[in-house]
Amino acid sequence: MGLTSFFKITAPASQPAVHKKPQTKAPNKPAQQHTSTPAKPNLSLAPRLSAALLKEVLDRINCCFGHTRYVVGGLAALAAWGFAEDFPTHVTIHCPAGDMEILRTWASASGWVLHPKSRDMLGVPTSDRSVRTVSIKCVSEEAFAHMRSISAAFAREYFGAGIMDTNAHILTLPALLDQFSGLYADVLARSSRAAEDDGPLARSTARLIVWILRRLDNGGWDKPLMAQDVPRVVDLSFWVPFTARYPEAPALFASCGLVDLPLLVDVSEIGHDPQDERGEARHVAEQNREVVYSYDASGPFLYPFGPLSLASARG
């Protein structure tokens, strides 16, 4: 009797048959998902804010940061002063470098969106079910101390209608004039265009400068312009090319109070001696230059206004 037959006969009748488990392949591990961090938003492609949405964003900024150190600058601040020819794609706020995390903490506690890649970008939910960008530009403590600001609501009460009704802290008109003058000079410094020709960004910045001057000339501020308040205006890198391109500009500056300039500052050639008046002027100009650089490239000036004519602008 073969072995096979023997095991078949002698196998206990009561022993259950052994059933092998069907072989199954090990479950495939799910493919590892590579989640890429969202890229930094291109602010120049964002839709521009309407006047109502800008006011809403400014109100929310002050509600969230009103007890901290911040100031709204750039085109958003200019729109708060009544500039209505164009509106920004986002709002830029300035703060001391050491305060950024404080602002981010308060923004998170208020339900804002923190961009995972760009620590200087915050998202503000608005009533139109969108999220609008607030860009934080950090400056040194000293530079921030030189940034003159005012509550827009107080400016509205003091200087009349036309100013946005919000309690947000915005740069004063002289501070904005100085900021945009510095931006104009910096744009020219980086431009390869012919000396007598302005590119679109420089032209649009010049238009903003002229609007500020007209606003100042029409009672938009309670004091005449002083050279020490606008160091980038009296900087040769701005004054020489701007007045060469727009010959009527000196008269417009003069009508705002900037008549007898005590000095024109060439920040590339002046020493740092704190006892020297020109050295102090350089120091102030460099502090303001930091403010301008911190705002530059934030994106709201990509929409040219066309050629500028001071004569037609004053109408």
Enter the tokens of residue 157: 């009460």
Q: What are phi and psi of 17, to 5 degrees?
A: -65, 145
Residue among 238, 244, 245, 235 at smallest CA distance from 203: 245
Confidence band of 15 (pLDDT split at 50, 70, 90): very low
Report the alpha-carbon distance of residue 88 to residue 68 in Å, rounded: 23
Break the chain into its structural domains and give their ranges: 45-171, 173-315
Greater confidence (242 vs 9) lies with: 242
Task: List pLDDT tens digits, range 279-290.
Answer: 444 444 444 444
The Cα–Cα gap between 83 and 200 comes to: 19
For residue 141, the one-letter residue type is E
Alpha helices for 25-73 (secondary structure H): 51-65
CA 213 – CA 189 distance, rounded (Å): 23
8 A C-beta contact, residue 314 and residue 252 = yes
* CA angle, residues 219, 302, 130, in degrees to nearest 5: 90
* Pair of tokens at residue 63: 């509600």
Q: What is the DSSP letter of 58?
A: H
CA dist 101 and 108 (Å) reads 10
Alpha-carbon span 3 to 63, nearest angstrom: 92
**What percent of the chain has pLDDT above 90?**
48
- Is 50 exceeded by the pLDDT of residue 208? yes
Q: How many CB atoms within 10 Å of residue 301?
A: 25
Query: Token digits for 75?
Result: 């085109």
Fold of 45-171: Beta Polymerase; domain 2 (3.30.460)
Q: If residue 178 lies in a helix (H) or strand (E), which one and from where to where?
A: helix 173-190
Residue 16 φ/ψ, nearest 5 degrees: -70, 145
Taking the C-alpha atoms of residue 124 and residue 110, their distance in angstroms, rounded to an integer, is 9
38-58: average pLDDT: 78
Instruction: Give the separation between CA 238 and CA 185, rounded to whole angstroms.
Output: 5
Strand spans (E) along the chain: 71-73, 91-96, 113-114, 121-125, 131-139, 149-151, 169-171
Residue with tokens 């500028």: 308
Is pLDDT above 60 for 70?
Answer: yes
Q: Which residue has the tokens 């052994």?
A: 18
Which pairs count as long-range contacts for 261-268, CB under 8 Å and 24+ apart, including other chains?
261/227, 261/234, 262/227, 263/227, 263/234, 264/234, 264/235, 264/236, 264/239, 265/231, 265/234, 265/235, 265/236, 266/235, 266/236, 266/237, 267/235, 267/237, 268/237
Instruction: With H, G, I as helix, E, B as strand and everything else as coil, classify residue 233.
Output: coil
Is residue 44's pLDDT more than 60?
Answer: no
pLDDT at res. 281: 41
* Cα–Cα distance for residue pair 186/289, rounded to 1 Å: 9
Q: pTM surpassing 0.85? A: no
- Taking the C-alpha atoms of residue 254 and residue 266, their distance in angstroms, rounded to an integer, is 20
Q: pLDDT tens digits, residue range 271-313?
A: 444 344 334 444 444 444 443 333 333 333 222 222 333 433 3
